[in-house]
Structure 1
Amino acid sequence: MPLPALLTQLQQWQRQASQLHIRLPIVWQGEQDTMLDVSRQLLGLINYKTLYWIGEQAPTDATNLTGKHNYQLLGSECDVLVINAFNGFPADLIAASAGCVKAGGIWLLLCPPFSSWIMQPNTAHKSLLPYPINANNHVGQFLPFWLQQLQLQNVLILHNENLIQQLDWPALPALKNVPPPCITDEQQHAVAAIMKVVTGHRRRPLVLTADRGRGKSAALGIAAAQLAGENKHILITAPSPQAAQTALKHFQMLATADQQHQLQFVPYDELLRSVFKTDLLLIDEAAAIPAPVLQQLLGRFSRIVFATTEHGYEGTGRGFQLRFQQYLSEQCPGWHKLHMHQAIRYQAADPLEQLTFHGFLLNKTSKQPSYAPNMAIKFIYYSAKDWLTHPIQLQQVFGLLSLAHYQTQVKDLAALLDNPQLTVMTLQQEDQLLACALISHEGNLPAELCTKIYHAQRRVQGHLLAQSLAFHLAQPQLATTALWRVMRIAVQPALQRQKLGAMLLEQLYQTAKIAEIDYLGTSFGATANLVKFWQHSSYLPVRLGSTFDKASAEYSILMLRSVSASPDIPLNLQQRFGHQLYRALAHYPSLSSKLALMLAQPEKQKPLTHNELEQLSLFREGKRPFELIRPLLLQWFDQQKYQPDSQLHQILSALLWQQSDWSVVLQCYSFVSKKECINHIVTLLRKYD
């Protein structure tokens, strides 16, 4: 078909897409200069207000998207999205931006012919490749995998001026008449459910979930406007101000001029720092906010709506729901949940949504695996080169990783396929995936490079464990050894607490021993339960980060286990770490006392004298004030065998080790006054000889 006729046909197809309430996905193969020229001609023929562009040579009227836009894209919209993939295919950004295209809009991918494209390096994924792999000449598996998925989807595929695959046009679904401003009856139910959080019992939050484009954020704005009409004051927070824009826009359109102040956006860190009074707190895109932050907000506000994308490019919502609903059940037994299925921004059979879900493995699986302890299990290893021939297993693994970690993204899928130093070990039973571990092969770095890392002259990508051992722990020689780092471990939610995770780690240890690996390691946001889990598998804590981990809002901990190397080094590092942490606990104000008891180790001291023990006895009898006896109590406490679950030990850790203010301790342990707390300490101390 001659190019002018093809461009005219594309115009007609766009109008048809608008009538059917879908987006028009076009994949156009050819030479780069020719493809950029035809894209400019097409843009000159169609009407658009907002143009998003990914890649090089963006027109002057386009918003050129980069990786930093991922979460900022939540809630934003465009008429046309063009992806210039000739110099790179950033999978994470492409998946994120697909949800921005409006119904009737065009999603246009410009790329080389498929046969040559799969042989090219993808430099857009250079941040996923470890040292010493050069992104300019490394050909990974993600592009072949994605093209494999693409050709199974309902998209328009062109090669120069030839139509290779036509679109299978979906039927226009019948729409129900719903009173405005709602568009679907599900959205109407969602607005009613949000309103009920304000009028119903306290401490009964709502979890509102939906795929992208279902009107979830709009429902928040509509409900807020109706509540403002009842003179209610509402706060809204989100991962970023942009993520709350859809809700705010709908509120501003519906609320009167004198009601506009009744919905206020407040960043979540400010909500935790200051005191706010509100009739309702709305949290949009809650899955992109660290779970510990959500837990703190739940403790501070009695009426909350948690709204989150069920799945989309984030790949996070379902994991958030499964983990967070357990916490909600413990804290607020009467909480409610509502899921919105009906699409609003585009119809349910929208081809671009299906391409995004299937192409990036974001489609959900409802089948729950079962585990029979008396039946055989098997451990199977997969690396990047294996996934093209095992697509079902890849879907299962990526789905489970998404469940287990609330910030799993499409770039994690890309890393599985492009990074040859990543291995996945699975625990399976009758082709069911029960658990998996994601392992990064690190270390074996040249001694000269390790010295430079130690002297802060170099950093190397993809060797977190080796680099931390060399720089933070001042052990550059350990970075020359063979290391495996467990990046993530995941067990099916329904099968947890059956020791499958421990079984997986033990098998990994045996495999590492055969492979003559020197050390196994891991790094994660420290919680008492997680640290205990790793300790049970013989991993020793050797470092605690000084700042919060961005993903978990916890301090990041590094743990180590010797395999083929001598166990003395991890033991010595643990001891040194415990002593250093003990001296530095005052610099970890947000560290739980339970974790402090598990990790810190005071230096050995001389036993208390008879006189000093007598002073403590007088304190137990209420005959000495706490301030006078505090140094002796610290000396006595340092010599105890710590029990992290003991309330006495936790209180003493907070007061004596962490030097917390009395106000913090009183709030944490629900004491009315300092005197009440001291009396409680005295009562518990009387149980000791």
Structure 2
Amino acid sequence: MKIRLPIIWQGQRQLLLNATLTWLGHNQFQRLYWLGEDAPEAATLITAGNNYQHLGTECDVLVVNAFSGFPADAVAAISGCVKAGGLWLVLCPEFRLWQQQANPAHSSLLPYPIDATEYQGLFIRFWLQQITTANLFVFHGQQLIQQLAWPTLAASNASEPPFASKDQAKAAQAICRVVTGHRRRPLVLTADRGRGKSAILGITAAQLVTNIKQPIIITAPSPQAAAIAVNHFKQLAAESDHDCLQFMPLDELLLKKPAAALLMIDEAAAIPTPILQQLVAHYSRIVFATTEHGYEGTGRGFTVRFQQHLNKHCPGWQKLHLQQPIRYQIKDPLEQLIFSSFLLQSHPVNFDQQIVPGYVVKTYTAADWLQQINKLQQVFSLLSLAHYQTQVKDLASLLDNPDLMVMTFEATDTVLACALLSAEGNLPPQLAKQIYYGQRRIQGHLLAQSLAFHCAKPELATRNLLRVMRIAVQPELQRQKLGQRLLQQIEIFATQHNIDYLGTSYGANINLLQFWQQAGYTAVRLGQTADKASGEYSLLMLKPLIQEDVSNTLTTEFAQYLPNQAAVHYPLLATQLLLALARPQQTSPITPQQLEQLQLFCQQKRPYELVNHLLLAWFNQQQNLLPAQLKQTLAAKLWQQQSWQQLSANYDFSGKKAIINYWQNTLVNLIKT
């Protein structure tokens, strides 16, 4: 049968390890993956740090040595590598003892000063609850205590090579139609793991290359995510055509926007909607491939938000869902186990467009979830929907991190909106000073650490802080101010619990900035490195709840700092966002003689190069009064020092001369002596 066998074997550590190694020695498996300590020499050692590098590969046996820790994220991810007929084996202490022990594999999820070698989190206890109803073998020593029910043998899924399933063959036809059919009719290709969606991108690219004049470009959140497609392409295409499929990172693709016969985007759900929208606006032939739910993060957010955008801008777009597994059959016990025990199964809820006013506010901490599994499922699904990087480790954090709290709006026992909160700060002054000097870094206190080190305010790290990590509203209920109402409830809670500052940190875009500004939060820091997947910079915002507030000084210094540093640190930051954050320090008024020089520029009697410094000084004082496009183009050039080529591409000008003419014609009535 084309299934994978999940087995959990509980007992005494050395006995189980010896028996496992003996059994492995008697059975020569082609590929053995081992997660945890005591791996034999023949095994490929999987760690929490390298598990994503093995995605797309296969193994005959995966052994998880849970005696040395149980990293939930790595277990969920690497389990997809077990092939049909393979074995998934977890070695662990007796369940009664295991759930009372520390889980050092989750040390990165625990905040200072918790000792991961001693702290007993709740994730193991939760996970053991989940598997009691799962379909798997459970052994206690030599005794079988839970029997696997063998699924019915599935019908043959065979197809003509190079396709591994009939679904793949249909997908190839649909991808070809994107290239040969009408423009602006993208294809959305969705599947659970193991359905061959990445492989079919490479297979179809190899079929297309002989009939196209431009290259096919493939992009993804990381090169590893596109590796499966590229490898399949190279296996099938002639060596002389290998350059016809080119991987390009998202940031480079957005910057250069090269011509392409087809743009393929793998793991599209892991890319923020604004990035996908930019690509749709530029490329007329696109295939999006993605997992709609799973350990990688959210797919339902992609389904809800981005596909709404396609409905509006590409009404002829097509969707194809691959259902047939390739490496194993439908209702494979291991796939079912991973989905159910890590809450990866999608449970969409339908809502009326208008909510009933009588929703209630509830709060949950880690200790509450074991009796509220249904609520935990709803919260985790909603957080996954709202944020493209939600992973299994976030579920583990909810259960293991005692400093995390979730606030919800609920009606009829259904979660309408939720916020994930982190209690931070309250650090000893000496530790805050060490962080300020760069001598220490601690876990679980992002807000306190950034305020002490980046903002040079170690005294703020000693205050009681509450960080809003995520906030999510059911898609059908958005634009009804539920998010703002939730922030108001958080502020009430924080005031009641003597919190000094509320804060948040997120990948900045103009819509989110306006949302947080509306709630009274102000920006105090912008990270200097853009996220590789989203192209967004991390923005830190604060809201004081005390009288002796120093955040106003931080906000002013930050806003004045931005224009001077934009060219060095933020050349690719969205100019609209830069303008919303920046407030140049006011200098002496422009003199009549300087204004005369600018007027001569508007009359084409002075070149730009002679007056750009004067134009910068004038713009710093007048930018809030200028029309939007003029303001953005001047900021892009004067603050960010973008090239004429970049300006032309971003604002649809034919070149430098056209841009300068636009400035001259627009400024002539604005620059007055």
TM-score range for the pair, normalised by the shorter chain length: over 0.9
Offset of residue 49 of structure 1? 0.8
Describe the superposition over 1:487-545 as per-residue Cα deviations: whole angstroms up to 9, x where unpaired. Answer: 11111222222211111111111111111100000111111111111111000111111
Aligned twin of 2:342 = 360
User: Could you tell me how far apart the structure 2 residues matched to 1:213 and 1:393 are?
Assistant: 29
Q: 1:613 to 1:330 in 2, by over 3 A?
A: farther
Q: Does 1:122 align with 2:103?
A: yes
2:169 aligned partner: 188
Q: Would the aligned equivalents of 1:594 and 1:645 in 2 still touch at CA under 8 Å? A: no
Letter of the 1:207 counterpart: V
| Cα RMSD for the two superposed structures | 2.5
Q: How does 1:38-77 map to 2 (within 5 A)?
A: 38-77=19-58
Equivalent position of 2:151 in the other structure: 170
1:611-650 correspondence to structure 2 within 5 Å: 611-617=593-599, 619-620=601-602, 624-640=606-622, 642=624, 646-650=628-632
Pick aligned residue for 1:397 from 350, 356, 379? 379
Distance 1:176 1:468 in 2: 53
In structure 2, C-alpha distance between the alignment counterparts of 1:253 and 1:661, rounded to whole Å:
40
The aligned residue for residue 648 of structure 2 is 666
Aligned counterpart for 1:519 among listed residues 501, 505, 517 = 501
State the distance in 1 between where 2:87 and 2:157 align.
Answer: 27
* Aligned 8 A contact 2:157 2:324 in 1: no
SS of the residue 1:517 aligns to: coil
Q: For residue 672 of structure 1, report the CA deviation from its aligned partner.
A: 1.0
Instruction: Give the Cα–Cα distance (whole angstroms) in 2 for the partners of residues 457 and 448 of structure 1.
Output: 11
Answer with 663-672 or 104-113: which moved more: 663-672
The equivalent of 2:208 in structure 1 is: 227
Q: Given the alignment, which residue of 544, 554, 572 partners 1:590?
A: 572
Contact preservation (8 Å) 1:444, 1:480:
yes
Measured after TM superposition, the shift of residue 334 of structure 1 is 3.5
SS in 1 for 2:422: strand
> How far apart are residue 557 of structure 1 and its match?
1.0
| 1:173 shift after superposition | 2.0
- Residue 39 of structure 1 aligns with an amino acid whose one-letter code is T
- Cα 1:585–1:77 change in 2 (3 A) is same
Match of 1:457 among 439, 464, 476: 439
Higher deviation after alignment, 48-57 or 286-295: 286-295
Larger deviation, residues 484-493 vs 234-243: 234-243
Are residues 1:96 and 2:83 paired?
no
Deviation at 1:369, TM superposition (A): 2.9
1:278, 1:542 → 2: CA distance?
40
The answer to whether the 8 Å contact 1:555/1:591 transfers is: yes
Q: 2-side partners of 1:650 and 1:577: how far apart?
A: 20
Q: 2:319 aligns with which of 324, 337, 349?
A: 337
Within 1, Cα distance between the matches of 2:196 and 2:277? 25
Give the CA deviation at 1:362. 0.4
Shifted more, 244-253 versus 413-422: the winner is 244-253
Residue identity opposite 2:541 in structure 1: M
Residues 637 and 218 of structure 1: is their aligned pair in 2 closer, same or farther, counting only changes over 3 Å?
closer
- 1:533-548 alignment, distance < 5 Å: 533-548=515-530
Residue 15 of structure 1: aligned partner: none
3-state SS, counterpart of residue 307 of structure 1: strand
**Contact kept in structure 2, 1:541 and 1:574, CA below 8 Å:** yes
Q: Could you say which residue in structure 2 is the equivalent of 1:503?
A: 485
Equivalent residue, structure 2, for 1:14: none
Moved more, 581-590 or 629-638: 629-638
C-alpha spacing 1:442/1:329, structure 2 compared with 1 (3 Å): same
Is the CA contact (8 Å cut-off) linking 1:155 and 1:165 kept in structure 2? yes
Structure 2 match to 1:8: none
Which residue number corresponds to residue 10 of structure 1?
Answer: none
Q: CA–CA distance in 1 between the matches of 2:310 and 2:292?
A: 17
Structure 2 residues not aligned, in runs of 5+: none
1:275-316 Cα distance to aligned partner (Å, 9 max, x none): 755433333333345656555555564433221122222132
Q: How do 1:96-175 residues align onto structure 2 when only pairs under 5 Å count? A: 96-175=77-156
Tell me how far apart the structure 1 counterparts of residues 592 and 258 of structure 2 sit (CA, whole Å): 53
1:215 aligns with 2:187: no
Is 2:272 the counterpart of 1:284?
no
**Structure 1 residues 494 and 445: alpha-carbon distance in aligned structure 2, compared to 1, 3 A threshold:** same
| Mapped partners of 1:94, 1:621: distance in 2 | 68
Q: Aligned pair in 2 of structure 1 residues 365, 665: CA closer, same or farther (>3 Å)?
A: same
| Partner SS state of residue 311, structure 1 | coil
Query: 643-652 or 486-495: which moved more?
Result: 643-652
C-alpha distance after superposition, 1:398-446 (max 9, x if no partner): 0011111111110000000000000111122222212111111000000
* CA–CA separation in structure 1 for the residues paired with 2:627 and 2:480: 22
Contact 1:75–1:242 at 8 Å: present in 2 too? no
User: Contact conserved, 2:216 with 2:260, CA < 8 A, in 1?
Assistant: yes
Residues in 1 aligned to 2:253 and 2:519: alpha-carbon distance in whole angstroms: 38
Seen in structure 2, the aligned counterparts of structure 1 residues 550 and 685 have a Cα distance that, compared at 3 Å, is same
Q: In structure 2, how many angstroms separate the alpha carbons of the residues matched to 1:67 and 1:85?
A: 13
Residues 1:347 and 2:329 are matched in the alignment: yes
Measured after TM superposition, the shift of residue 645 of structure 1 is 7.4
Cα-to-partner distance string for 1:306-361 (whole Å, 9 max, x where unaligned):
21122222132222333333444565443322211222221111111111001101
**1:351-500 equivalences in 2 (<5 Å):** 351-370=333-352, 372-373=354-355, 375-500=357-482
Does the 8 A contact of 1:435 with 1:491 survive in 2?
A: yes
CA distance in 1, matches of 2:190, 2:575: 35
Matched to 1:210, the amino acid is: A
The normalised TM-score by structure 1 is 0.91
Conserved? CA contact 2:293–2:299, under 8 Å: yes
Amino acid in the other structure paired with 2:87: I
Moved more, 669-678 or 230-239: 230-239
CA distance in 2, matches of 1:242, 1:522: 30
Classify 1:648/1:267 alpha carbon distance in 2 versus 1 (closer, same or farther; 3 Å): closer
Paired residue for 1:4?
none
Shift of 1:152: 1.0
Q: How much does 1:159 deviate?
A: 0.4
Within 1, Cα distance between the matches of 2:329 and 2:123? 29
Question: Following the alignment from structure 1 to structure 2, what is the Cα–Cα distance between the partners of residues 182 and 592?
Answer: 42
Q: Given that residues 11 and 141 in structure 2 are in contact (C-alpha distance below 8 angstroms), is that contact kept between their aligned partners in structure 1?
A: yes
Cα displacement string for residues 539-585 of structure 1 (whole angstroms, at most 9, x for unaligned residues): 01111111113553212111000013434x11111011111222212
User: What's the counterpart of residue 225 of structure 2?
Assistant: 243
Task: Tell me if the contact between 2:355 and 2:477 (Cα under 8 Å) persists in the aligned partners.
Answer: no
Segments of 5+ residues of structure 1 without an aligned counterpart are: 1-18
Indicate conservation of the 8 Å contact 2:206/2:233, yes or no.
yes
Residue identity matched to 1:564: I
Residue range with higher mean Cα deviation, 461-470 or 590-599? 590-599
Secondary structure of 1:82's partner?
strand
Q: Could you say if the C-alpha distance between residues 632 and 282 of structure 1 is closer, same or farther in structure 2, counting changes exceeding 3 Å?
A: closer
User: 1:644–1:650: 8 Å Cα contact kept in structure 2?
Assistant: no
Q: In the alignment, does 2:182 pair up with 1:201?
A: yes
